[in-house]
Structure 1
Amino acid sequence: MTIEPAAGRVTRGRARTRANLLDAAFRVFAAKGFGRVSIEEVCEAAGYSRGAFYSNFATLDELFFALYRERAELIADQVAGALATDGPDLDVPAAVDRVTEVLLLDLDWLLVKTDFLAHAARDPAVAGTLLAHRARLRGAVADRLARAHGRTPLPAVLGDADGAAHAVVAAYDGVTTQLLLDRDVEGARAWLGRLLTALLTDGRGEPVRED
């Protein structure tokens, strides 16, 4: 039997502690808001001491940024995966359905993301983190639209694939603002689906065809 080095076990244990702290922080931030949460509350929710917190994060801000990056990367990957299912042709309504399913499932994430947006608006350094995430999300959309462009032309008003990706993210921002207030996930999903389909098909419900 091979016995793993103690350092390896510590590394995995620390990674598990960090993951548990992030999960607990997500729940607490969603329930109370970032500005109303203390380190003690995060530790209590995770079942750890302050020492465990400080062995992983220097400040609550650092934890918040780590949490945001983790969730943002996951969602960007999910969007990219949802758009990668089709072959060279892009089935716009089907792709829209998959993307809205990914983007609208988690109201807690929207609350945390909104907190991060407000925080970033007051701090240029934090804003860079948010802008990088949004650029990656747009990039995933733009890449798929660009690869399908030869067979599924975009409406001229959107310009290129990058312009279309900006429109997709703007539509998502608008619909989710309403979603945060009325909590109507199905209504928001339906509206976003209609908006994105109209944007990407010139309002016809089918891809634009080149003559």
Structure 2
Amino acid sequence: MNAESAAPARRRLSRAEAKARTRSLLLDAAARVFARKGFTGASVEEIAEAAGFSIGALYSNFGSKEALFLELLADRHTDRIAEAAQALERHPSGTGEAAAELSRLLIAVADKDTDFAPLQAEFWLYAVRNPEVLDTMAANQRAPRHALEQVISTSLTRHDAPADVSAEAVATVVAALFGGLVRQRRIDPASVPEELFGDALRWLFTGIRTGAAAPSDTDDTA
């Protein structure tokens, strides 16, 4: 028996597996082309060619260049949230180690993922000028935002936050803080030292605890 006949036959991918592989390759190609050309400068033809597929395959999987970018954006957000959740799971007491890990995550995004922050800013401006895209952008970010809310909800419980503190509202603040500090770090690195994000999170949760412990304006102090 020769080596060729002895080699195991390659398993044929199922329809679902083939579709997932195609989507993954298109997303990888899109990330490269967007990084090189920007959102408006990149074309669906270039992305499809870079992935090794037809334009029809791109449209059948994503529908539009905007939808492709939003999927890429949601994947990035989901990955970051997963990293944050892992940091908090490693340090469930909410100690300085968790804050330090989250700070390092922000610095890595700001200093190493240098192509994507400008792309997000470019797409945000594009979406603001195209309200139908803005609506789709909001809808597409709900899943990663919900995942962040779950992480925040766990942290609020650990910090003995009052029941009326909304995990959704705190998640909105944390996401805005992260994105804002990433942009500021890109503009002026010295103004956003490595520990700042972790410090800001401690300030936020300390304020929540302090607010919970403070007497209400309606308390009868007479």
Fold shared by both chains (TM-score > 0.5): yes
Cα distance, 1:33–1:137 mapped onto 2, change above 3 Å:
farther
Any idea what SS the aligned residue of 2:61 has?
A: coil
Equivalent of residue 47 in structure 1, options 44, 52, 66? 52
Equivalence for 2:179: 173
2:67 aligned with 1:57: no
- Aligned equivalents of 1:137, 1:7: Cα separation in 2: 30
Equivalence for 1:142: 152
2:115 aligned with 1:108: yes
Equivalence for 2:3: none
CA contact (8 A) 1:24 1:46 kept: yes
- How much does 1:191 deviate? 2.9
Cα distance, 1:64–1:138 mapped onto 2, change above 3 Å:
same
2:94 aligned with 1:90: yes
- Aligned equivalents of 1:176, 1:21: Cα separation in 2: 27
Q: Output aligned runs, 1:1-211, within 5 Å.
A: 8=14, 10-87=15-92, 89-91=93-95, 93-105=96-108, 106-121=113-128, 122-123=130-131, 124-129=134-139, 132-133=142-143, 135-136=145-146, 138-150=148-160, 160=165, 162=167, 164-182=170-188, 184=189, 187=192, 189-201=194-206
TM-score, with normalisation over the residues of structure 2? 0.68
| Percent identity (aligned) | 28
Cα distance, 1:168–1:68 mapped onto 2, change above 3 Å:
closer
- How much does 1:98 deviate? 1.8
The one-character-per-residue Cα deviations of 1:22-81 (angstroms, maximum 9, x if unpaired) are 011012223322122101221233233334424433321221222222222222222222
Instruction: Identify unmatched segments of 5+ residues in structure 2.
Output: 1-7, 215-222
TM-score, with normalisation over the residues of structure 1? 0.71
- Aligned equivalents of 1:137, 1:188: Cα separation in 2: 27
CA contact (8 A) 1:117 1:130 kept: no
Cα distance, 1:52–1:84 mapped onto 2, change above 3 Å:
same
CA contact (8 A) 1:83 1:95 kept: yes
CA contact (8 A) 1:100 1:192 kept: yes
Paired residues, what number? 197
Any idea what SS the aligned residue of 1:36 has?
A: coil
- Aligned equivalents of 1:172, 1:55: Cα separation in 2: 34
- Aligned equivalents of 1:200, 1:24: Cα separation in 2: 40
- Aligned equivalents of 1:103, 1:140: Cα separation in 2: 19
| Aligned Cα root-mean-square deviation (Å) | 3.6
Instruction: Identify unmatched segments of 5+ residues in structure 1.
Output: none
CA contact (8 A) 1:145 1:161 kept: no
Code of the residue aligned with 1:169 in structure 2: it is A
- Tell which deviates more after alignment, 21-30 or 117-126: 117-126
Cα distance, 1:5–1:20 mapped onto 2, change above 3 Å:
closer
Code of the residue aligned with 2:80 in structure 1: it is I
